[in-house]
A and B are shown apart, each in its own frame.
Chain A
Amino acid sequence: MEKRTVFSSYAIPAALLLPQLLITIVFFYLPAGQAVWQSFQLEDAFGTSTQFVGFENYQILFSKPEYFKAMGVTLIFSSAVAFMSLSISLLLAVMANKHIAGAGAYKTLLIWPYAVAPAVAGVLWLFMFQPSLGMVSGVLKTWGIDWNPLLNSNHAMILLVMAATWKQISYNFLFFLAGLQSIPHSLIEAASIDGARPARRFWSIVFPLLSPTTFFLLVVNITYVFFDTFGIIDAVTGGGPAGSTTTLVFKVYHDGKSGGDLGLSAAQSVILMILVVGLTAIQFKYIERKVSY
């Protein structure tokens, strides 16, 4: 798509683009380039001299068990959150899509957690599950479960998954509802004339027609867990206990904060960038974005 009629000038478009390009280059390309450059450098212990070492930082990184652990944690965390939040919100969206009274009110009541900051969501859930004074952990104790996310790594992970899912449901719900509303009613009626019961209609008509939405949301959810859950992790577990909730992004932050090896931290950033590029590419390939340049 191109405009038929345009203005002709060189100076004006350059001036209009200048603010965005300047900020983009200074705060995006320069740091990203620096990360790539640093990942090939080795700095001595005093930070006085650096030397080019090729892929050595990557080799060191991939020889560390902690790095693989962080990968595993990220994988478990993102699949658990994606699965939970997609299934819960699909269920809610299907219910809200039935022609029931108050459907609009339910929508309003379900979408607002989108606006809650991840760190705040984490703190809310931490309070409920705080081992000594939390209300839910008190109930769990009466059932004989010694709940302690500060010491037990499974408990810590479960708590994070719940908080992250809670926040993500609203987003998925909105997109599922829009997807469901775009399915022509005639298809469903035709199927029911053929004798298909509601469950059959859902799994053989609605669900397949919804698959572009589901796939789009799957990618968005994985990206969400990768990057936006940083606030939840930092507020709830701080990556602990013993690194059991340290995701790849949290590890970059944590390793850099403790003043660790710059080259190693840069190598981690570069791997993350490659992951984002991959995720975005998948998103574009299958979602048919309308970018026709």
Chain B
Amino acid sequence: MVERETLLSRILPHAILMLGVLVVFFPVYLAFVASTWDPATISNGKMGILPGPYMIENYQRILFTGTSSSTREPVFNMMVNSFIMAVMIAVGKIFISILSAYAIVYYRFPFRMAAFWIIFITLMLPVEVRIYPTYKIVSDLKLLDTYSGLTIPLIASATGTLLFRQFFMTIPDELLEASKIDAAGPFRFFKDTVLPLSMTTIAALFVIQFIYGWNQYLWPLLITTKDSMATIVIGIKKMIVTQDALTEWQLAMATAVLALLPPVAVVVGMQKLFVKGLVETEK
């Protein structure tokens, strides 16, 4: 910087950032610690800030047996459900939105603008504002407690279409002209030119939508009634019995750790794609 560096000006940013990192990590660390203790230590408030000896036992129990009261479903099954839901939402969204964006950008046809606006306005109708009517339609279609019911209503949204449209606009016109000279039709052009160029955008959208899908709460809460269809985020809520000593905190916290690990791993492991996806879907 421009000022002469003092000891304080060198240490202060690190101190503030470290404090921030500490605050961000502490709740998760504490959950991890709780997941390694026995219920008695936790409920007596005697749990310290160091891990206990029950880690393997607790995780084995929660993954393959489940809790003893609230929901008996093993958490491993819930994770499988969450994974299927997240992948179906991400893949479904990419599939339908890349097709519709291609139609809107590369064709001229009547009602093109109307189609664009019909898709665009869905930005303004989040699932929360139309829960019960949507629920009713899904139940009329006999899709309750199915993966289709869990995912299809969530895969249509404008974000993907807008993102692909914006990206397609940056593809030089000369590429299409060249393909046309080579007598390539719309399918060839899509497969050989547009799709390979879109790979980074597809990957970025996949990262964002996987996290979105994995973390869904309200929708699975309504659509799944059977324990065997529960996702992990719903499962953890069922384990917390409010105002009751019956909550098995060591298992609930192990579930919390398992619930946040996959999406956090995606963010940390694919940070570049994640940032790209986040910035581009919002701007």
A276 to B125, CA, bound (A): 7
- For A198, the closest partner residue in chain B by CB is B3
Contact A116 B263 (CB under 8 A): yes
- Among B44, B134, B136, the one with the most A-chain Cβ atoms within 10 Å of its Cβ is B134
Contact B20 A108 (CB under 8 A): no
Q: Which residues of A contact B85 (CB under 8 A)?
A: none
Q: Which residues of B contact A138 (CB under 8 A)?
A: 45
A215 to B233, CA, bound (A): 32
Instruction: Using known A-B contacts A14-B109, A19-B96, A135-B47, determine if residue A114 contacts B211 with beta carbons closer than 8 Å.
Output: yes
Which of B126, B131, B217 lies in contact with A234, CB distance below 8 A? Answer: B217
Tally chain B residues at the interface, Cβ within 8 Å.
Answer: 108
A115 to B45, CA, bound (A): 29
Instruction: Using known A-B contacts A127-B34, A230-B218, determine if residue A115 contacts B266 with beta carbons closer than 8 Å.
Output: yes
B30 contacts the other chain (Cβ, under 8 Å)?
yes
A293 contacts the other chain (Cβ, under 8 Å)?
yes
- For A252, the closest partner residue in chain B by CB is B131
Q: Which residues of B contact A188 (CB under 8 A)?
A: 2
Contact B267 A115 (CB under 8 A): yes
Contact B242 A280 (CB under 8 A): no
Contact B271 A117 (CB under 8 A): no
Instruction: Using known A-B contacts A133-B42, A150-B243, determine if residue A110 contacts B214 with beta carbons closer than 8 Å.
Output: no
| Interface residues of A, dominant DSSP | helix
Total cross-chain contacts (CB, 8 A): 293
B119 contacts the other chain (Cβ, under 8 Å)?
yes
Q: Which residues of B contact A38 (CB under 8 A)?
A: 133
Which of B44, B104, B264 lies in contact with A116, CB distance below 8 A? Answer: B264
A262 to B24, CA, bound (A): 41
Which of A98, A115, A266, A273 lies in contact with B260, CB distance below 8 A? Answer: A115
A209 contacts the other chain (Cβ, under 8 Å)?
no
Q: Which residues of B contact A124 (CB under 8 A)?
A: 27-28, 30-31, 256
Q: Which residues of A contact B108 (CB under 8 A)?
A: 6, 8
Contact size range, A: 35 or more
- Among A108, A115, A253, the one with the most B-chain Cβ atoms within 10 Å of its Cβ is A115
Q: Which residues of A contact B102 (CB under 8 A)?
A: 16
- For A255, the closest partner residue in chain B by CB is B132
A86 contacts the other chain (Cβ, under 8 Å)?
no
Contact B215 A117 (CB under 8 A): yes
Contact A32 B130 (CB under 8 A): yes
Min CB distance, B175 to chain A, in Å?
A: 9
Q: Which residues of B contact A114 (CB under 8 A)?
A: 211, 267, 278
Chain B interface residues (CB < 8 Å from chain A): 1-3, 10, 12-14, 16-17, 20-21, 23-28, 30-31, 34, 42-45, 47, 49, 95-97, 99-100, 102-110, 112-113, 115-120, 122-126, 128-134, 136-138, 152-153, 155-156, 161-162, 166, 169, 173, 176-177, 180, 185-186, 211, 214-215, 217-218, 221, 233, 236-237, 240, 242-243, 245, 249, 252-253, 256, 259-260, 263-264, 266-268, 271, 274-275, 278-279, 282-283
18 A-B residue pairs with CB within 8 Å: A1-B169, A7-B107, A10-B110, A20-B99, A20-B156, A23-B152, A27-B137, A27-B152, A96-B17, A106-B17, A112-B24, A119-B217, A120-B233, A124-B31, A133-B44, A169-B20, A178-B279, A234-B237
Chain A interface residues (CB < 8 Å from chain B): 1, 3-10, 12-14, 16-17, 19-21, 23-32, 34-35, 38, 88, 91-92, 95-96, 98-100, 102, 106, 108-121, 123-128, 132-135, 138, 150, 166, 169-171, 174-175, 178, 188-189, 192, 198, 216, 220, 227, 230-231, 234-235, 238, 249, 252-253, 256, 262, 265-266, 269, 272-273, 276-277, 280, 287, 289-291, 293
Known: A114-B211, A234-B221. 7 other contacts (CB 8 A): A95-B17, A111-B267, A117-B233, A192-B2, A227-B128, A265-B132, A273-B124
